[in-house]
Structure 1
Amino acid sequence: MLLNVPPDRRGLVHENDIRSLQGFRKLLNEAFSNNLAIGATAKASNYRGKSLQFSPKNLIDGDEETYWATDDDVVTGSFELELSEPQTVSYVLLQEYIPLGQRIKSFRVEVWNNNRWETVSEATTIGYKRILQINPVKASKIKIEITDSKACPVIANVEIY
């Protein structure tokens, strides 16, 4: 994110810019204060060797050094997070496990709404961190469908707000 806040002629950030940045920080804190993925149940279409080391539970364990991965020959797949109760979802944060490289080429986000899956976002690449803003929707489950990847997907973290 480039804030583009240059110093003024005194070599300082102007007071108006400081107030604006403080307001922006407040908005960020409010929007990202309650991670709905905490306490969710995670499941996946595939995970490497059915090993707990690559389990979908790693997506929401808060540890960026653990990750969900599919079997080596599987370059598509999906995982779901089931929330403890229906919640209004506005943001989905995804992080690949970058030590193994950026792999995801395309994916979509779906929510369980009115007893059916509804696509709320389609995107390319995730990389270190991707935050998707979606139209606020009440959902009990969120599904990420990896539709194309350079190699087996490896996702380290998912957060829902």
Structure 2
Amino acid sequence: RGLIHENDVEALKGFRAILDREFKTNLALKSKATASSYRGKSAKYAAVNTTDGRKDTYWATDDAVNTGSIEIPLGKTQTVKYIVVQEYIALGQRVKSWTAEIWKDGAWKQVGTATTIGYKRILKIEPEETDKIRINITDSKACPVISNIEVY
């Protein structure tokens, strides 16, 4: 017997199994994300950087723009339960508020709202069928810089 009780070890293994199951496949990976705008129309700051699987690329708006939207097509209708958003934290925490929407019955339906994002925010939603999602940055201290969006 080690320093951690067997019951705790089993509980941790169970928790790991849940995480592995729930976050197995990122439905947004390599998606052709688009944005309402991006800095200087430069590919270096385009929305596709949020779904490329890299942490060193990001979407950004122009300096004077503190809001914006990113739309992510999922390729086909799928069940969505979690939306993960990450800021490019090397440039600081900027987002003050944001919403998440899914495309349902020909219109956008809000499924979540939150305040800060920081390094990572996992938004758990009621399971919904959709073929695309939209992240709306509704307020930010400076131009938002989003490095990663994942959908599970």
TM over 0.5: yes
Bigger radius of gyration: 1
| CA-CA distance at 1:114 after TM superposition | 1.1
| CA-CA distance at 1:12 after TM superposition | 1.2
* Pair 1:137 & 2:128 matched: yes
C-alpha contact (below 8 Å) 1:92/1:159 kept by paired residues: yes
Q: Which moved more, 1:147-156 or 1:33-42?
A: 33-42
Counterparts of 2:32 and 2:38, CA distance in 1? 15
How big is each residue's C-alpha offset from its partner over 1:32-64, in whole Å with a ceiling of 9 and x where there is no partner? 001000242200001000000001010011111
Select the residue among 41, 50, 53 that pairs with 1:50. Answer: 41
User: Amino acid of the residue matched to residue 46 of structure 2?
Assistant: S
Select the residue among 76, 92, 97 that pairs with 1:106. Answer: 97
Return the TM-score normalized by structure 2: 0.98
Listed as ranges, the gaps of 5+ residues in structure 1 are 1-9
User: Amino acid of the residue matched to residue 141 of structure 2?
Assistant: K
C-alpha contact (below 8 Å) 2:30/2:52 kept by paired residues: no
SS in 2 for 1:41: coil
Q: Which moved more, 1:33-42 or 1:135-144?
A: 33-42
User: Amino acid of the residue matched to residue 117 of structure 1?
Assistant: W
C-alpha contact (below 8 Å) 2:30/2:53 kept by paired residues: no
Listed as ranges, the gaps of 5+ residues in structure 2 are none
| CA-CA distance at 1:11 after TM superposition | 6.7
Aligned to 1:16: 7
Total equivalences in the alignment: 152
RMSD: 1.0
* Pair 1:125 & 2:116 matched: yes
